Amino acid sequence: MTTNIGTVDRVVRVVVGLVIIGAGICFRNWWGLIGLLPLLTAAVRFCPAYVPFGITTCKTESPKPPVPPDGPKPA
């Protein structure tokens, strides 16, 4: 399973999840358990809802210049 949640997205999910759980505890309501979903997706760094749309919030690595097959040439 590849990751599709970046750092900022992960932090937002943790905060939102904790707020939802806190609201559930404050209002003594079982709906606060829904806050576990963003916490779970933040923990595993994978969101299944992003897959059909091809969304990823991970930073892409910049391409490295190709190295010749015989290795880099000394200066």
Cα–Cα dist 59/56, whole Å: 8
50-55 average pLDDT score: 93
Of all residues in the chain, the percent with pLDDT exceeding 70 is 80
Cα–Cα dist 22/4, whole Å: 26
Q: Residue 2: its pLDDT value, please?
A: 87
CB atoms within 10 A of CB 19: 13
Banded pLDDT at 67 (limits 50, 70, 90)? low
Q: Residue 59: its pLDDT value, please?
A: 85
Q: Residue 62: its pLDDT value, please?
A: 62
pLDDT in tens, 20-37: 999 999 999 999 999 999
Give the start-to-end residue ranges of the domains of the chain: 7-50
